[in-house]
Structure 1
């Protein structure tokens, strides 16, 4: 039978609708909507106003002035605050809608686990350049046709300050402004059931070309999302190990490992996704580094929306140099006196594994702060849909950088009933958050030659 125009029209209409949907899914917002930035929205997209009951105040610019005596780990600007109340097993039902399922499960599972909720401080600032570039991005940035790749954006700004999709929120997290680079002496800590503590201490170096004001577009940074280098110092059995990661905006990351026994740098295609990190009894996957790292290509991301939640915030106690790790960690969880939670609005994004991909976490739910775009909590589910792991981050304002920083985080495995912390800095002598700006880390720090040099010292 001859195909007439009427036979072709439904198919053509369907194709047109599909193309229109694809275009709208990856389109920037209108000039009119972008004009809200700096008015009813903060320069990087949060709601400027407080909430109805006053528990969330209006944003007034954040912590822009450096307090007297400020140095990371040496000053808590909110040390005088007292908890307003605690959420524990006795009142969990009252606050169930204000905490992620993972926190509720930890409260139900472990005796004494609670959330101490403090007064809310919207401490995160937005530097002028970040504000300027973010406003440009609102009408410019876009996701690639593959549905996950950051295809176009001005650097040093939030790509999607008025996000419409889950993957846009995720890229805001991955490219959030935290300065140009940093270096620190950090520790990954794994409490054992016998009360002992396994400590892996290392130097950590980080570089974020996306945040460099000298750059302007993605071409200027050659598709680099971030560069990380970890130089293991202890325990003695692992001293000299080194890990180098180059994360990209448009493809999976590259990684190299140096083992002192082999005395050579080896490319490691398996140092990605859900491959376990050595030394942590299968409790810690590669893409859990810094809460979530690497390409987001194995997941579909659904934007659930925004809601008020009790989340870790202004966690200056975690970086306080007066504290010792052995005093901060209990056998089952981080001791509650060292954790601070506040009521903030967060974006909720649900990630589910694509049909043609695989990952041990078939679903992840991300909770991302509206003021800083920091990832503060992740619930992770197994193939049967059961909650398996819970990960929480930290956040504290650094006025000398003009941003809120995220360092410390912890992962709770509900099946193994064990936990791991990483990026803890309290006992380290160095917490250098302006290293990129002042040249103490640079592109040369993140080479295979430097990895080898550090391992052979």
Structure 2
């Protein structure tokens, strides 16, 4: 009886296997001619929907902010300063709006007394430079994932690799290679508030290089397969002053990292400075791969493309970067002062990441929310091994017409278990981020070498 049943199942199992294989091939297939033709027409040049949504709360995309306003500098001008909130979401009405919030956003509202989200009119401010639009069309027909399911192959240069994502891993690469300018530098502060209103300030010089965003790049060989390079020179607190951290991320292998310790006056390679390794000076509240919302290889997770949804997300956060602000006014004991965060309705891509069976990570699951107009990562919900929501990370987004991109830099991370939070990449008081540092030669590939880090540390 058992043998007969087994034989009867074989055709069905074979059919299922063939169907799964076919589905896999479809998911990994290059974009069709019809899809590519839709870019710049019914879809934006990087694949977002041009049309407004059903109730017009999300307007049609009209090209974004392409003209540089008079007096523009990041943190010195708010193009939407006259906008007023449409409504606020708090504990009294959060259930009414829960379908347009992430689980993490709902948890923050329900956990912390007085936490609210002020929702403003939606401004689709993100532009797309012509060369990014042209390169995205090329990438759409060539880019693919490797046999391991996560390495990136056959991408040609600046532009979104997969404007028609068929998998969660493809969406992750769209985020990692989105256009944000060629590189930047800033004096930044990472802040850890205490319940008494004081805060610990970790101040650093931060340098970032994104080789694929150079219009002259035609493929990975031009940049040695590098996705990005990050360098941090620690200025304070005094106990850590002089430390240096260097990260090289790649499109086809896990990242390299080096650390400079001033007491030893030497640079050490640090293979453990990756994934969920805690960053020094943050009381175990902040992991390496939470830098810039997500940094490093994507090889430890399986990624499911859940789909697209309308959601309230941080957008056009010019109030947050206003250089007239003082940290003492921006930081509350439990969360960032709600007057400084602007939320808008936008369409986002949702990706659910689950740790692979043969891998490990402190976050057993992550849920990513990507802005469709820029592929910026604006919200991440992180879960422990028991399935409990553990941490909630929030990004920021503001258009920078001088580089033709939407910038995502400032982040806030809330630990629901420790009941503490950390902010990162807040430009130091009085400082302005330099978005054209790489384009104009103030930052280049030589800046991001271990030898240069050693030289800087020994000055």
Normalised by the length of structure 2, the TM-score is 0.96
* Alignment-derived partner of residue 393 in structure 2: 391
Paired residues of 2:197 and 2:331 also in contact (CA < 8 A)? no
How far off is 1:142 after superposition? 0.7
Paired residues of 2:315 and 2:343 also in contact (CA < 8 A)? yes
Partner Cα separation in structure 1 for residue 40 and residue 369 of structure 2: 24
Partner Cα separation in structure 2 for residue 12 and residue 52 of structure 1: 43
SS of 2:268's equivalent in the other structure is strand
SS of 1:35's equivalent in the other structure is helix
After superposition, where does 1:323-334 map in structure 2 within 5 Å? 323-334=325-336
Paired residues of 1:56 and 1:344 also in contact (CA < 8 A)? yes
SS of 1:318's equivalent in the other structure is coil
SS of 1:317's equivalent in the other structure is coil
* Alignment-derived partner of residue 444 in structure 1: 446
How far off is 1:360 after superposition? 0.4
Partner Cα separation in structure 2 for residue 359 and residue 330 of structure 1: 30
Paired residues of 1:310 and 1:342 also in contact (CA < 8 A)? yes
**1:456 corresponds to 2:458:** yes
Paired residues of 2:74 and 2:432 also in contact (CA < 8 A)? no
Paired residues of 1:240 and 1:454 also in contact (CA < 8 A)? no
* Alignment-derived partner of residue 172 in structure 2: 170
Partner Cα separation in structure 1 for residue 15 and residue 90 of structure 2: 55
Partner Cα separation in structure 2 for residue 97 and residue 236 of structure 1: 46
How far off is 1:10 after superposition? 8.4
Partner Cα separation in structure 2 for residue 308 and residue 315 of structure 1: 19
How far off is 1:214 after superposition? 1.0
**1:373-417 C-alpha deviation (Å, 9 max, x unpaired):** 000000000000000000000000000000100110010000000
Paired residues of 2:28 and 2:166 also in contact (CA < 8 A)? no
1:142 to 141, 144, 153: 144
Paired residues of 1:185 and 1:428 also in contact (CA < 8 A)? no
After superposition, where does 1:180-195 map in structure 2 within 5 Å? 180-195=182-197
2:426 to 408, 424, 427: 424
After superposition, where does 1:175-214 map in structure 2 within 5 Å? 175-214=177-216
How far off is 1:231 after superposition? 0.3
* Alignment-derived partner of residue 74 in structure 2: 72
Paired residues of 1:410 and 1:421 also in contact (CA < 8 A)? yes
* Alignment-derived partner of residue 370 in structure 1: 372
Partner Cα separation in structure 1 for residue 221 and residue 387 of structure 2: 40
**1:266 corresponds to 2:272:** no
Partner Cα separation in structure 2 for residue 10 and residue 283 of structure 1: 49
SS of 2:320's equivalent in the other structure is helix
How many residue pairs end up in the alignment? Answer: 452
* Alignment-derived partner of residue 65 in structure 2: 63
SS of 1:243's equivalent in the other structure is strand
* Alignment-derived partner of residue 234 in structure 1: 236
- Compared with structure 1, are the counterparts of its residues 24 and 157 closer, same or farther at alpha carbon in structure 2 (3 Å cutoff)? same
* Alignment-derived partner of residue 5 in structure 2: none
SS of 2:319's equivalent in the other structure is helix
- Compared with structure 1, are the counterparts of its residues 269 and 8 closer, same or farther at alpha carbon in structure 2 (3 Å cutoff)? same
* Alignment-derived partner of residue 104 in structure 2: 102
Partner Cα separation in structure 2 for residue 417 and residue 294 of structure 1: 27
Paired residues of 1:318 and 1:426 also in contact (CA < 8 A)? no
Normalised by the length of structure 1, the TM-score is 0.96
Paired residues of 1:184 and 1:428 also in contact (CA < 8 A)? no
Q: Which runs of 4+ in 1 moved over 3 A?
A: 7-22
* Alignment-derived partner of residue 314 in structure 1: 316
Paired residues of 1:322 and 1:426 also in contact (CA < 8 A)? no
Partner Cα separation in structure 2 for residue 366 and residue 383 of structure 1: 17
Partner Cα separation in structure 1 for residue 276 and residue 430 of structure 2: 28
How far off is 1:25 after superposition? 2.8
* Alignment-derived partner of residue 3 in structure 2: none
How far off is 1:430 after superposition? 3.7
How far off is 1:193 after superposition? 2.5
Partner Cα separation in structure 2 for residue 147 and residue 21 of structure 1: 14
How far off is 1:16 after superposition? 5.3
Partner Cα separation in structure 1 for residue 67 and residue 10 of structure 2: 65
